[in-house]
Structure 1
Amino acid sequence: MELRHLLYFQAVAEELNFRKAADRLFISQPGLSRQIKQLEQELEVQLLDRNRKKVQLTTAGLYLLEEVDFLINHLETVKVQLKEIEAGKLGELRIGFLGSAANHILPSLLAKINVHESGISTSLEELSNGVQVELIQKDKIDLGFVRLESAPEGLEMKSVLRDTFSIVIPEEHPIQSQDFQSIDQFSKESFILFSSDYSQYYYDQIIGICRDAGFFPTIRHKSVHALTIFRLVEQGMGVAIVPSSLKEGYKLKVRFLEIPNIRQYTELSVIWKPDNRNPALSRVLKLI
């Protein structure tokens, strides 16, 4: 078995069509079929069910595809790290993050990296919780800043910020901070919430805050981006409930009122895969 066999299998498994996979690989379709047959003979398992109408992965094929994805991603990471080392650097750290991490936590970490690990470069990408978990599991990113109830299987998680919740209202809203006593004062308002795609656990917490106050919110709009939510609040489209720390970094015509006397709080956590072999990760985890 050679690397090309795995690359060929990956293409067929993703396309589920030998002709399309062959075109993608720039080889002939009969040649591709022979390579897949060689791989099956080498492994002594059937990886694909194929007939004239369709190609499907067997249970063994599904398992192999996950492992091949991991291997190929790891090889790509090794190539990147080698280039960084050749350039005299310690490597690159790929970081995923939620927008709320960009206000304080992430800039603070990057500042520490610049001072204590100046040989490490970073690649940053704003991603949802679910996408970060998936990419960390596949070794496509090294570190993630998420809001999750618990660590996904196979990953480690550490809380880096415990936060309260605030309601965001238009600047000209009649309720002032000295008048605000309970979230039920906004029970008749339209709400603009972070989508459950941002974090199902976080979304459920927001609904829980409202239910504890005796009402279910009328949800008019959802978004995964804080700025979009704040813009809609600014335009009088509704009110929003967000982590209090999000009030930093935005200069909009909105006000933040911290919600008193609630049991809910939110935590921003960092997650990583313990067996990730990127040398930059272990050095940065010490700073965290």
Structure 2
Amino acid sequence: MGYQIALRHLEYFKAVAEELNYRKAADRLFISQPGLSRQVKQMEEILDVELFYRTKRSVTLTAAGEFLKGEVDFIFNHLELITQQLKKIDTGQIGELRIGFLGSAAHQVIPDLLIRMSKKFPGIQTNLEELSNHLQIEMLEKDKLDLGFVRLARVPEGLSMKAVHRDTFSLVLPLDHPIDTTNFSHIGQLKEELFILFSSDYSSLYFDKIMSICEDRGFTPKISHKSVNALTIFKLVESGLGVAIVPTSLKEGYALKVKFIEIKDIPQHTELFAVWKTENRNPALKHVLEVL
């Protein structure tokens, strides 16, 4: 036959299977009893099975009808679930968010954000990737990331940014270094030391700020090594190959033989910015921005 099973057939079958009475099922569906009978009969012809035993006094399900009733219940329950899921996806309560970040955001900002998101929007999954400032901007512009965490003074047109964390700078020294919190007064005390710094590739703004901290004390640091990785910098300091200046928040999460001394009374500080494409269409993003 040229007919196919339509959703209405399943609705009509479900009503008859539950009521086991054509008149009551027809009233429930707001259609005529003869019309309902024709639709059920058509369904049986399409499937080439008998779904009901009918007598003048009763209507009962056949074995095939019993099986179909269970499957139809599942189909309608699943359709309801799909409808609910679609609404959640449309409003951003369910989905995936692709997040890029600098390593210095991994110690406080990212964990705090994920904890708050999991409480408020448990349906949003995150895909996290540690990336440089430059790569994050490039991927945001190409719609390969939804959200980035960068240290930049400005971002290209079409991107939005919001300051999410302000941090001080700290000096990183080997544990056995003679300078400690009791005798440290300013960075000029270390002008003869070799410095291990974050590369300007990590953030040119950040690199310039660290240089200016030293220049404000009348010296240009002698740089022995550069890296874009905090752990590498700390390992080099631990090995006695130099001293470093990093955001204070980076002191969390490492078990190394180094000590941190916060550099107080300086104008320099570092800010971490959340960045996203202004016209990003991922509905989950607006919820994460609310949490931020």
The question of a shared fold, defined as TM-score above 0.5 by the shorter chain, is answered with yes
What is the rounded CA distance, in whole Å, between the counterparts of 1:89 and 1:149 in structure 2? 32
Give 1:270's aligned residue. Answer: 274
Q: Which region of structure 1 is more displaced relative to structure 2, 124-133 or 259-268?
A: 259-268
Give 1:103's aligned residue. Answer: 107
Q: How does 1:88-127 map to 2 (within 5 A)?
A: 90-127=94-131
Q: RMSD over aligned Cα, in angstroms?
A: 1.9
What is the rounded CA distance, in whole Å, between the counterparts of 1:276 and 1:112 in structure 2? 22
Give 1:75's aligned residue. Answer: none
Give 1:183's aligned residue. Answer: 187
Residues 1:148 and 2:141 aligned together: no
What is the rounded CA distance, in whole Å, between the counterparts of 2:122 and 2:274 in structure 1? 21
Find the partner of 1:129 among 119, 133, 138: 133
What is the rounded CA distance, in whole Å, between the counterparts of 1:175 and 1:254 in structure 2? 12
Tell me how many residue pairs correspond in the alignment.
206
Q: Deviations over 1:154-210 (max 9, x none)?
A: 211111111111110001101121100010100000000000110000001011111
Match for 1:185: what amino acid?
Q
What is the rounded CA distance, in whole Å, between the counterparts of 1:127 and 1:210 in structure 2? 27
Match for 2:170: what amino acid?
S
Find the partner of 1:257 among 256, 261, 266: 261
Q: Which region of structure 1 is more displaced relative to structure 2, 160-169 or 145-154?
A: 145-154
TM-score by length of 2: 0.68
Find the partner of 1:286 among 281, 286, 290: 290
C-alpha displacement of 1:260? 2.2
What is the rounded CA distance, in whole Å, between the counterparts of 1:261 and 1:286 in structure 2? 33
Find the partner of 1:165 among 156, 164, 169: 169
Match for 2:260: what amino acid?
F
Give 2:240's aligned residue. Answer: 236
Match for 1:248: what amino acid?
E
Q: Which runs of 5+ in 2 are unaligned?
A: 1-85
Match for 1:251: what amino acid?
A
Bigger radius of gyration: 2
What is the rounded CA distance, in whole Å, between the counterparts of 1:283 and 1:176 in structure 2? 44
What is the rounded CA distance, in whole Å, between the counterparts of 2:156 and 2:163 in structure 1? 14
SS of the residue aligned with 2:182? helix
Match for 2:103: what amino acid?
G
Give 1:207's aligned residue. Answer: 211
Q: Deviations over 1:246-284 (max 9, x none)?
A: 111111100111112211110011011110001111111
C-alpha displacement of 1:98? 0.5
Q: Relative to 1, partners in 2 of residues 1:89 and 1:155: Cα closer, same or farther, differing over 3 Å?
A: closer
SS of the residue aligned with 1:221? strand
Detail structure 1 runs of 4+ shifted over 6 Å in the superposition. Answer: none
Q: Which runs of 5+ in 1 are unaligned?
A: 1-81
What is the rounded CA distance, in whole Å, between the counterparts of 2:180 and 2:186 in structure 1? 12
C-alpha displacement of 1:89? 7.4
What is the rounded CA distance, in whole Å, between the counterparts of 1:138 and 1:226 in structure 2? 28
Residues 1:216 and 2:223 aligned together: no
Q: Deviations over 1:114-173 (max 9, x none)?
A: 111111100000000111011001110000011111233221111111111111000110
What is the rounded CA distance, in whole Å, between the counterparts of 2:124 and 2:264 in structure 1? 42
